[in-house]
Structure 1
Amino acid sequence: MAESKLEDQLANQARISGDGAPSDEDDDIVDPWNVAGKADTGIDYDKLIKRFGCERISPELIARLEKVTGQTAHPLLRRGMFFSHRDLLHIITRKEQNKPFYLYTGRGPSSRAMHVGHMVPFMFTKWLQDAFDVPLVIQLTDDEKFLWKNISIEESMMLARENAKDIISVGFDMEKTFIFSDFSYIGQCPQFYQNIALVSRSVTFNQARGCFGFGDSDCIGKIHFPSIQAAPCLATSFPHIFKNRKDIPCLIPCAIDQDPYFRMTRDVAPRLGYLKPALMHSTFFPALQGAQSKMSASDENSAIFVTDTAAQIKKKINKFAFSGGKASVEEHREFGGNCDIDVSYQYLRFFCPDDDKLEEIRQNYTSGKMLTGELKAILIAELQKMVADLQLRRAKITEQEVDEFMRPRPLKFNY
């Protein structure tokens, strides 16, 4: 089925199957608010690709991206953590033709401190920004968290600002990056709200219910919210950056649970005279307890936070990280460990920069040469260094710097 027909079908069917909820009892649950896979194997990403109607990122597509950017692909791309896409080829072609596009990603600020799983898409987005040399907009959906969580508007706005500091610590270029809070920006930019209204008028309640599974007891704010997350895909939402141009598309790096928002947007955008947004989907960063669910900011023992001390990181990994090792040292030496389910190894796939070192670890653990405690020690050292570096950079961020990142202003780019 052609993608456009699939999107029309998904946008018009009044059910959530294929948009997150399982079509049968054997499928995983993946939607913007819930992620749960089977306890033994975790999320089946091949099934998700089929259900969502996206495409796997092929080695050929990665090679073309490397050629057009002149950069070696990021480890998260080489190792398949960013694994599927929509229209990535169109974005690469635009780069080859020197036609403009921009990056768009976001964060729902539900906790004062982000965990390392939250940082993964921002680390990749930083690489994309540097490789493509394009502007970036980062949406902080403090309104979403007010609607879904039992927190006040004031608290959600405070969390957005605190999360902005974590995001800035990744190293984004201020001259090319605009970070905005929904609550604040809607009052600053009439065009943003106008685009929200245009999107909201283009989607019926039945279509929203079909995409997101809204029920009769959900507040109308939730039903309206997808139009707010869709609006940054329209370049005229940022007149200080793109003026009134409607011919500039965006590329959205995000976890695949956010895809329903943008399937809806891809259906609406052409009807409003805009190009469809392109996407790159990542796998979920697993909870310490295993790959059947993603890290959660609401469970401090499921995650490593960017505020954790070296001692806390060591304790959490040693105590909670699910092991793929055998029950005894003797058995492990004989049969080896299972890297596919071992959380410490899976985390190293995200954060170990050296491909050769990672492969050596895999071989040694699989063969039984390396024990679980040794594998955890390697991860602990890697995370302690990464988190310490983030903390050092964050400590230097001033309130004035946050204000400047969040001030509507022209960005620097070459088109």
Structure 2
Amino acid sequence: MAVEKKDEQESESSEQVVNPWEVSGKIDYDRLIDKFGCQRLDVSMIDRVQRLTSRQPHVFLRRGVFFAHRDFNEILDAYERGDKFYLYTGRGPSSEALHLGHLIPFMFTKYLQEAFKVPLVIQLTDDEKCIWKNISVKESKRLARENAKDIIACGFDVTKTFIFSDFDYVGGAFYENMVKVGKCVTLNKSTGIFGFSGQDCIAKIGFPPVQAAPSFPSSFPHLFPGMNNLRCLIPCAIDQDPYFRMTRDVAPRLGYRKPALIESSFFPDLQGENGKMSASNPNSAIYVTDSAEDIKYKIKKRAFSGGQDSSKKQEGVGANLEVDVSFKYLSFFLEDDAELEQIFQEYKEGSMLTGAVKARLAEVLTEIVERHRRARAAVTDEMVDAFMTVRPLPRMFE
């Protein structure tokens, strides 16, 4: 996408780069909202979710992890009227081992699926990673199936969920929508949105319609026959917004509803606030394959601290929670609101030391990773086939 040009007076380290393929710099989410043209989720909307679903909003909603949206209010309006919708999210399979940041959209999507009782399509963009990461087609397809196992391990319901690989599924009605989208977007417009240059291969320029097509129910005739007016809600990280700005722009021209989005912030790098956790840098990430010892070591040695450099100074001044990575991770994954508030107060005031915060985080993340590892070990190739089989989902709205 077209990245806002940095002021020449600004230092290079402060430059914010957010696009579907790169996230770096200190992220200013207010600036992103203004730049992308989305809206902040407010408390009234979160309260409305609780009222409509009769269940406590997910911790990612309560804590502002999912913080921005496009037309989420219209999804709630439709749901309140009794209208149906479906969910669409995805994963670009570029690595065999996922990190915790990769799990966030799937954990949240599972909550949405259960709370609203709606079907879900999950796109594995193995073609995208083949193009951008210089991975072979064969390896991209293998990674897609491996990543599907991690996704299934999050607990999705096979009777309401269709997972598909682009290499395997694209064709028919899906391809028709790709072509329709592609005909609506000029090269100049695509360059403006995505920042393509003359050095990029034409496969990159041709990819955006592939990610747009699942926004339209007619791309899945085996799931939604005769339901072309069905609304779509897309949970994703905000770096994917450019794809769906393009999609929302062309949807009315094709006679489709605009997809709605609910967008998350980034799971921070262990070593600090710049960018997001990266699968390519083992020092920045906690993987779902890490042992309890690995997790404890990484948090102790790598997690950037906002605490003071001595216990005496910490007791006198307290921690800077704006930069403390361990506290930020707890705000993502510690379910107990009261405990988080207690840690916030004690750590900020200085009565709690960095070592205690890191120790609690290691406990929380170890439990999550070990639970995921057990669930993932139980996922068989037959289960992957079941989720990826093109089939109707007769009870998908129940």
What's the TM-score, normalizing by structure 1?
A: 0.93
Of stretches 389-398 and 21-30 in structure 1, the one that deviates more from structure 2 is: 21-30
User: Is the aligned partner of 1:250 residue 2:232?
Assistant: yes
Which residue number corresponds to residue 140 of structure 1? 124
Which residue number corresponds to residue 278 of structure 1? 260
Which residue number corresponds to residue 31 of structure 1? 19
How many angstroms apart in 1 are the aligned matches of 2:248 and 2:85?
A: 16
CA contact (8 A) 2:233 2:259 kept: yes
User: Is the aligned partner of 1:224 residue 2:206?
Assistant: yes
Name the aligned partner's letter for residue 375 of structure 2.
R
How many angstroms apart in 1 are the aligned matches of 2:251 and 2:114?
A: 27
How many angstroms apart in 2 are the aligned matches of 1:65 and 1:22?
A: 38
Give 1:22 shift: 4.2
How many angstroms apart in 1 are the aligned matches of 2:397 and 2:210?
A: 28
Which residue number corresponds to residue 413 of structure 1? 396
**Superposition RMSD on alpha carbons, in Å?**
1.2
Name the aligned partner's letter for residue 291 of structure 1.
E
One of 66, 84, 104 as aligned partner of 1:120 = 104
One of 162, 182, 196 as aligned partner of 1:178 = 162
CA contact (8 A) 1:21 1:30 kept: no
Name the aligned partner's letter for residue 256 of structure 1.
I
CA contact (8 A) 1:179 1:405 kept: yes
Which residue number corresponds to residue 385 of structure 2? 403
How many angstroms apart in 2 are the aligned matches of 1:216 and 1:23?
A: 22
Give 1:131 shift: 0.5
How many angstroms apart in 2 are the aligned matches of 1:321 and 1:378?
A: 13
What's the TM-score, normalizing by structure 2?
A: 0.96
Give 1:193 shift: 1.0
CA contact (8 A) 1:246 1:273 kept: no
SS in 2 for 1:113: coil
User: Is the aligned partner of 1:366 residue 2:336?
Assistant: no
One of 39, 45, 62 as aligned partner of 1:61 = 45
Give 1:151 shift: 1.1
Which residues in structure 2 correspond to 1:308-387 (within 5 Å)? 308-387=290-369
How many angstroms apart in 1 are the aligned matches of 2:63 and 2:149?
A: 28
Give 1:21 shift: 3.7
Please list every run of 5 or more consecutive structure 2 residues that lacks an aligned counterpart in the other structure: none
How many angstroms apart in 1 are the aligned matches of 2:37 and 2:271?
A: 30
Give 1:23 shift: 5.7
CA contact (8 A) 2:119 2:397 kept: no
How many angstroms apart in 1 are the aligned matches of 2:305 and 2:180?
A: 50
Which residues in structure 2 correspond to 1:185-264 (within 5 Å)? 185-186=169-170, 189-264=171-246
Taking a change above 3 Å as real, the CA distance of residues 21 and 32 of structure 1, as seen in their structure-2 partners, is farther
Name the aligned partner's letter for residue 325 of structure 1.
G
Question: What count of residue pairs does the alignment treat as equivalent?
Answer: 392
Query: Which 4+ residue blocks in structure 1 deviate beyond 6 angstroms?
Result: none
How many angstroms apart in 1 are the aligned matches of 2:255 and 2:106?
A: 29
CA contact (8 A) 2:126 2:141 kept: yes
One of 150, 174, 177 as aligned partner of 1:166 = 150
Name the aligned partner's letter for residue 350 of structure 2.
G
User: Is the aligned partner of 1:267 residue 2:255?
Assistant: no
User: Is the aligned partner of 1:93 residue 2:77?
Assistant: yes
Q: Deviations over 1:39-76 (max 9, x none)?
A: xxx31111111111111001111111111111111111
Q: Deviations over 1:308-338 (max 9, x none)?
A: 1111111111111000011111111110011
How many angstroms apart in 1 are the aligned matches of 2:5 and 2:307?
A: 31
How many angstroms apart in 2 are the aligned matches of 1:386 and 1:227?
A: 35
